[in-house]
Amino acid sequence: MRLGVFGLALASASTSTVAAPLPTAPKTILFIGNSFTQGAHSAVRNWKADTVTDLNKAGYGGVPALFKAFAEQAGLNYAVSLETQGGKSLGFHFDERRQLFDRPWDIVVLQEYSVLDRARPGDPTAYVRDVGRLTSLLRARNPRVDVRLMSTWTRADQTYQRKGHWYGKPVTKMAIDLRRAADIARARTPGVARVLPVGQAWNRAFATGVADPNPYDGLSFSQLNLWAYDHYHASIAGYYLEALIVFGQVAGIDPTTLGAQESAADELGLSQAQATALQRVASDELAAHCQN
């Protein structure tokens, strides 16, 4: 069901015998990002790639394919596309790839490089600039485009390894800093609608015991590892949580309504208990986010 906390209401079904309305055109949604959108280092990367349009023709399904699967299970019609390149910033997509997506879109999700600036980790300067450039381009094609910024997760390697910029700080800190940068970019860019709190959902999963906060000291019994083997990218569970946040906020539907029988989780190897736990984390984070 759609819930008011997500800003939308589900119209009640009609029991009349009038003819069904003509099908409407699908909403278009574009994901621009890098390996964190691709689902790199997990089975998510190429999963259901035939259900989405990879503008680079690299054959990725990734988080966009998970979003598509959730939407279909909820009875929603989205035409989903992605334009991604591993290890690149939003500036790369504007400078090198904009001809691929310079067209009208209904919704666009922008995902920045994991530390924001490779040379100056944590510095939001280039991020803010590139969000502005991309949003201006997108609004020129559709003034009503819904642009959302994805705030991603803490990298364990950046927190627990001495070379990391966030070394010695709480595991939640990097995600908090990334969220602060996204909030700055949103505040300074007319046309950016919302921030997708993916990193905050990861932090909530740590706080509630759903996920283990430190993969370097061994995993606690029954807790999920949200990171992949490199302690940098996400695992299947981590990308599943990412996609749940996107789905819940963009579609305005409580992720817990997907339920234990949600098909993507089953196909990717998550148990029903794991899927429902992640759905609850996403639901609670989105509810808290709406209240902020």
Termini Cα distance of the chain: 22
| Backbone φ, ψ for residue 2 (5° rounding) | -90, 140
Number of structural domains found in the chain: 1
In a domain, 166, yes or no: yes
Chunked into runs of 10 residues, the chain (292 residues) has average pLDDT values of: 42 38 82 98 98 98 98 98 98 98 98 97 98 98 98 98 98 98 98 97 98 94 96 98 98 98 98 98 93 52
In a domain, 71, yes or no: yes
pLDDT tens for 222-266 read 899 999 999 999 999 999 999 999 999 999 999 999 999 999 999
Can you give the three-state secondary structure of the chain, one letter per residue? CECHHHCCCCCCCCCCCCCCCCCCCCEEEEEEECHHHHCCCCCCCCCCHHHCEECCCCCCCHHHHHHHHHHHHCCCCEEEEEEECCCCCHHHHHHHHHHHHCCCCCEEEEECCCCCCCCCCCCCHHHHHHHHHHHHHHHHHCCCCEEEEEECCCCHHHHHCCCCCCCCCCCCHHHHHHHHHHHHHHHHCCCEEEEEEHHHHHHHHHHCCCECCCHHHCCCCCCECCECCCCCCECHHHHHHHHHHHHHHHHCECHHHHCCCCHHHHHHCCCHHHHHHHHHHHHHHHHHHHHC
AA letter at 276: T
Measured CA to CA in angstroms, residue 200 lies from 93, 163, 177, 280, 283 at distances of 25, 24, 11, 13, 12
Work out whether strand 107-111 and strand 27-33 pair parallel, antiparallel, or are unpaired.
Answer: parallel
In a domain, 15, yes or no: no
CATH code (residue 284): 3.40.50.1110
User: Which residues contact residue 29 at a Cβ distance below 8 angstroms, ignoring those fewer than 6 apart?
Assistant: 64, 67, 78, 79, 80, 81, 105, 106, 107, 108, 109, 250
Q: How many C-beta atoms surround the C-beta of residue 41 within 10 A?
A: 18
In a domain, 7, yes or no: no
In a domain, 165, yes or no: yes
In a domain, 94, yes or no: yes
In a domain, 17, yes or no: no
Domain that holds residue 216: 25-291
Characterize 165-201 residue by residue with b for buried, 16 or more Cβ atoms within 10 angstroms of its Cβ, and e for exposed: ebeeeebbebbbbbbebbeebbeebebbebbbbbbbb
In a domain, 2, yes or no: no
Nearest to 247 by CA among 51, 48, 71: 71
Q: Which two tokens stand for residue 289?
A: 């986010």
pLDDT at 285: 98
Work out whether strand 146-151 and strand 192-197 pair parallel, antiparallel, or are unpaired.
Answer: parallel
Dist CA 257 CA 76 (whole Å): 14
pLDDT at 125: 98
| Backbone φ, ψ for residue 27 (5° rounding) | -75, 140
